[in-house]
């Protein structure tokens, strides 16, 4: 077992504090709603329950084992700890982000899925399912989330919020931003009439081309990365648009939704749209 004071775990706690504050700034949560976690070996660092994100300090972050046994719990761990642990058990995840963002919650009340309104949804594995409503903090919600995440990297929780995961917190957070942006695009498209939805074949073509171009890989200049490659955000957001600069940063619960801007020249999301 990892030592609870290991360098990797300390870094995870610091990262959780940094990204938790962004939940509010990016309109992905209000108050102390939402939560996130990072896996470090056989331990999970997860945000505590009931502490305002701008007050959160690294020493406040809780640490539990993969079966939920407390290792360091200066406060009550997030009520959604069972859902986080269920995702780690079911998916190749090292970070999980749970949001209470306005666009996905609104969509969840009226739709069974978020369809492929834009090809960037391929980053999430395809159309995003809406998991049936189950009370927060319950084993039933954890099961519903895992079912909705099958072959996906994001799911929407009916009348509740959303869940995304990744191979690190920057990637998981980028996916939460992307999901909120896609939900807004879909709502805006419905205002114009019946939207054209991308087919499974078209999404497969996007995925194949993204793999060919190696989008989604975070590469530094020293490693041969292209500074214009949108897969190289470096700070958890997109370089030139999308959710960081044209998505839910100035909207969500604060003023009714993200700005009307969409992708800049790199498409939404910081982990691999198009050039």
Q: Which residues pair with 45 in a beta bridge?
A: 38, 63
Dihedral angle, C-alpha 239, 243, 245, 251, nearest 10 °: -160
Spatial contact of 67 and 212, defined as CB atoms under 8 Å apart: no
d(CA 12, CA 40): 8
Structural Rg of the chain based on CA atoms = 18
H or E stretch at 113? strand 113-114
H or E stretch at 170? helix 169-192
Crossing angle of helices 139-148/81-90, nearest 10°?
40
d(CA 188, CA 260): 9
Structure tokens of 29? 């949560």
Active site residues: 80
Q: Residue 154 class from Cβ within 10 Å (0-12 exposed, 13-18 middle, 19+ buried)?
A: buried
Cα 169 from chain centre = 8
């Amino acid at each position: 077992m990892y030592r609870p004071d290991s360098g990797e775990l300390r870094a995870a706690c610091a990262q959780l504090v940094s990204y938790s504050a962004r939940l509010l700034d990016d309109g992905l949560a209000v108050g102390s709603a939402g939560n996130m976690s990072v896996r470090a070996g056989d331990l999970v660092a997860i945000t505590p329950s009931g502490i305002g994100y701008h007050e959160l300090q690294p020493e406040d972050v809780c640490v539990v084992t993969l079966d939920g046994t407390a290792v360091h719990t200066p406060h009550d761990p997030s009520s959604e700890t069972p859902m986080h642990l269920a995702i780690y058990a079911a998916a190749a995840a090292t970070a999980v982000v749970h949001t209470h963002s306005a666009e996905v919650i609104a969509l969840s009340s009226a739709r069974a899925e978020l369809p492929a309104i834009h090809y960037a949804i391929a980053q999430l594995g395809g159309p995003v399912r809406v998991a049936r409503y189950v009370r927060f903090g319950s084993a039933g919600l954890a099961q519903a989330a895992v079912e909705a995440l099958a072959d996906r990297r994001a799911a929407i929780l009916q009348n509740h919020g959303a869940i995304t995961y990744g191979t690190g917190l920057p990637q998981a957070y980028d996916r939460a931003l992307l999901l909120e942006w896609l939900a807004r695009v879909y709502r805006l498209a419905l205002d114009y009439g019946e939207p054209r939805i991308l087919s499974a074949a078209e999404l497969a073509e996007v995925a194949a081309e993204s793999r060919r171009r190696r989008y989604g890989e975070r590469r530094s200049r020293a490693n041969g990365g292209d500074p214009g490659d949108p897969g190289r955000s470096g700070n958890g957001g997109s370089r030139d648009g999308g959710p960081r600069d044209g998505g839910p940063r100035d909207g969500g619960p604060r003023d009714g939704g993200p700005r009307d801007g969409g992708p800049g020249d790199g498409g939404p999301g910081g982990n691999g749209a198009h050039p």
